[in-house]
Structure 1
Amino acid sequence: MIEGVENENSKRFSWKNEIKEFISAAIWAVILAFIIKTFIFQLTVVPSGSMIPTILPNDRVVVLKFWYKINPLERGQIVVFDPPIDSSYPFIKRVIGLPGDTVEIKNNSVYINGKPLKETYLPKYTKTVPHEKGTLFKVPKDSIFVMGDNRQGSYDSRDWGFVPLKNIKGRAVLTYWPLNRVKVLR
């Protein structure tokens, strides 16, 4: 072929290559999206008010799925999990008790292993009261104890018990919608 001159064969050849490249890029994009959504993070809408004032109903949050697998869970982290009760959607709550902890609710406060829990993420005069299951909880070695920040309006471990570690989907790290509520979750 003479340089600068195109013929019908070179057009067809180029067109076929473009289609092959597009299909290849689309396949790789789908594979990458699947890997990211399955193993790295997910975007979740919070349907309830159990985490008010930290997270409001219909806020959207980024959940890092791998976080708790490479870093140990810590008290105060916000996690998304499949609840140990019948539910059609995952729950979002704050980690209060870790495996082996004794959680006690008394004097409108939470005590961990006999010491008051400093909950700087709650409004100053928040009162924590016991619910259905009582005031003293011994967290099993394969579970955590969780509560919502909206202590008067949260259906949580005080009602239905512990969350098995295997039920944890990931750690909520950021609200991204609505835009006026974008923030890192602590």
Structure 2
Amino acid sequence: MKDQGQILMNKDENTTPEPADQPIVAAAAPAVDDAQPQVELAKVQATKTEVEPEPAEAAPRTAQEIAIAEIKEIGTVVGVAILLVLFLRTLFFQPFTIPSASMEPNLYQGDYIIVSKWDYGYSKHSIQFSPPLFNGRIFGRDPKRGDVVVFKLPVDNKTDYIKRVVGLPGDTVQLKNDQLFINGQLVNTTTLGSIPGTAPGSGFRDETLTLQREELPDGRAHLMQDYVQDGPVDNTDIYTVPEGHYFMMGDNRDNSQDSRYPMSVGGVDFVPAENLEGRAVLVLMSWKEGSSLWKPWTWLNFHWDRFFKSLH
């Protein structure tokens, strides 16, 4: 029994006491073979390469398919070009050709002019074919006396006319002995001389014309020409321009159907503001009489001195 007790005692003496708080030691991660994932990835890629077939080559297009594709491409280009032209003609500039002598000596038959569309804003007549999208005008200022204006003829709202603004809304306009009065005041006119020309009427006889300089009440001046005294509208009643309308006259005073004539006899009468299309700003080029699109030999038959002539 003593021995047993001694053995037990020796055991206790030789045993090392454990500390109260032992730090937690992470277990060592099992060893990983770095080469194994690379081997597996190579196997997957090899399998994928074997499974996925190569894309088949596209069959060559037939001549019909090529032609259809080209037609579609041309149609797209033409369509975009048409839309672009309509956009520019509606919002910015539009070309017109002068068809008559009613605005001589400032505009001649055959002149190709540029009209600014934004000066007076926009109405339904600013758009091709005058669709009834809205009434009145938007975004713009009122015309001034002396402006050369393109407008739709009120009698049909289709035909384009070009004249000079002489009377504003509320103005009175009258001619006495071939002299123009605006709001009861005589418009200053200076005779510059005589020029040869052709008088209107049966046979269009040759006659000497009187070239004059006319200065409107706002101080703007322009040239005009006159044929004969005591013409059909050299003495008129007083015209009172209604609100929202304008009184137009041609610079070729004895050869112009304008606001002096009622619509019932082929005249213009008062022009509604809605009918204004724009202000003429430039003569881009000018063809001589007898030139025609259907006569290629006349295409270069120009009035070269009228190119890029400002109408301000």
Range class of TM-score, shorter chain: 0.7 to 0.9
Contact 1:60-1:176 within 8 A present in 2 as well: yes
2:251 to 111, 132, 149: 149
> Residue in 2 aligned with 1:65?
117
Contact 2:226-2:253 within 8 A present in 1 as well: no
- Asked whether 1:170 is paired with 2:278, we answer yes
Question: If you compute each CA radius of gyration, which structure gives the higher value, 1 or 2?
Answer: 2
**Cα deviation 1:91-149 (Å, max 9, x = unaligned):** 10000000111111113221111112325312487879662993310000010000000
Contact 2:176-2:234 within 8 A present in 1 as well: no
Higher relative contact order (CA 8 A, sep 6+): 1
Gaps of 5+ in 1: 1-7, 10-18
Q: 1:1-186 counterparts in 2 under 5 A? A: 29-69=81-121, 70-86=140-156, 89-117=159-187, 118-119=215-216, 120-123=221-224, 131=233, 134-160=236-262, 161-178=269-286, 179-182=304-307, 183-186=309-312
TM score, norm. by length of structure 2: 0.48
Q: Which amino acid aligns with 1:68?
A: Y
Q: Give me the CA root mean square deviation.
A: 3.3
Relative to structure 1, is the Cα distance of residues 134 and 55 closer, same or farther in structure 2, using a 3 angstrom cutoff? same
TM-superposed CA distance for 1:177, in Å, is 1.1
Identity of aligned residues (%): 38
Q: Which amino acid aligns with 2:114?
A: V
Partner of 1:33, secondary structure, is helix
**Cα deviation 1:49-90 (Å, max 9, x = unaligned):** 000100001111101111122232100100011112348631
Gaps of 5+ in 2: 1-56, 59-69, 122-139, 188-214, 263-268, 287-303
TM score, norm. by length of structure 1: 0.78
Relative to structure 1, is the Cα distance of residues 132 and 90 closer, same or farther in structure 2, using a 3 angstrom cutoff? farther
Take 1:133 and 1:167, find their aligned partners in 2: how far apart are those partners? 28
Contact 2:177-2:234 within 8 A present in 1 as well: no
Q: Which amino acid aligns with 2:274?
A: K
Aligned length: 174
Contact 1:130-1:158 within 8 A present in 2 as well: no
Relative to structure 1, is the Cα distance of residues 114 and 133 closer, same or farther in structure 2, using a 3 angstrom cutoff? closer
Contact 2:104-2:225 within 8 A present in 1 as well: no
Take 2:310 and 2:230, find their aligned partners in 1: how far apart are those partners? 25
Relative to structure 1, is the Cα distance of residues 168 and 88 closer, same or farther in structure 2, using a 3 angstrom cutoff? closer
